[in-house]
Chains A and B, each alone.
Chain A
Amino acid sequence: NAGVMQNPRHLVRRRGQEARLRCSPMKGHSHVYWYRQLPEEGLKFMVYLQKENIIDESGMPKERFSAEFPKEGPSILRIQQVVRGDSAAYFCASSPGPGGTEAFFGQGTRLTVV
């Protein structure tokens, strides 16, 4: 079991470009979560997904951010028209049960907007 896989590990984007962050959950896990972390800060919940469904997106900014977890393939967090304030580490987690029970995290994608 390879664990939760995120790619890329590091991503540099110019202001106005799009960023796509990918997350493959652990085998057997159907619940996926995205969190954002600024340096020296905590983990801020963004979105909770199951296959083809968004369960809770209360932490997602209303504009420019979207997430999906299709029937086949990884979960994708998409940020359109990135701004400097989007620079952060984005962590994905997956769990076998609902709500984050026994959730394991990926290594994160560090997004830098220049």
Chain B
Amino acid sequence: GENVEQHPSTLSVQEGDSAVIKCTYSDSASNYFPWYKQELGKRPQLIIDIRSNVGEKKDQRIAVTLNKTAKHFSLHITETQPEDSAVYFCAPVDTGRRALTFGSGTRLQVQP
């Protein structure tokens, strides 16, 4: 199965700073790379995803970069705001064989 690791496990930044979370995976057949945000007591929400034929994708303040050779992808949040505070999960997957395997999560705290 897929082994997924996220770093760091916790991240505290000042409002307006950037935050970067890295996800490493083991299955070289993985072809879909989403990031989910989960606020306390709520459901995970898909915030951005990327497929294996693309190296980078951006959506306003959020971007994802993929390095398939090194088997890692990263979430970048710029101009952080207090409402970005949440737990972020990566979930790389080989969509032809498996379902999403979630990392252990990164707790992001944005200090106002």
CB within 8 Å of B: which residues of A? 33, 35, 41-45, 48, 55-56, 58, 91, 93, 97-108
Q: Which one, B42, B43, B100, B105, contacts A100 given CB within 8 A?
A: B100
Contact in complex: B100, A98 (CB < 8 Å): no
Contact B100 A33 (CB under 8 A): yes
With A43-B44, A45-B100, A97-B95 known to touch, is A102 a contact of B49 (CB < 8 Å)? Answer: yes
A58–B97 alpha-carbon span in the complex (Å): 12
Query: Known interface pairs A42-B89, A42-B104, A43-B89. Does A99 touch B44 (Cβ–Cβ under 8 Å)?
Result: no
Judged by DSSP, the binding face of B is loop
Known: A42-B105, A103-B100. 6 other contacts (CB 8 A): A43-B44, A48-B99, A98-B95, A99-B98, A99-B100, A101-B95
- Given the interface pairs A43-B89, A91-B44, A105-B44, the reply to whether A99 lies near B96 with Cβ below 8 Å is yes
Residue of A whose beta carbon sits closest to that of B94: A99
Query: Could you mark each residue 60-102 of chain B with 1 if its beta carbon is under 8 Å from any beta carbon of chain A, else 0?
Result: 0000000000000000000000000000010101111111111
Q: How far is the CA of A59 from the CA of B112 in the complex (A)?
A: 40
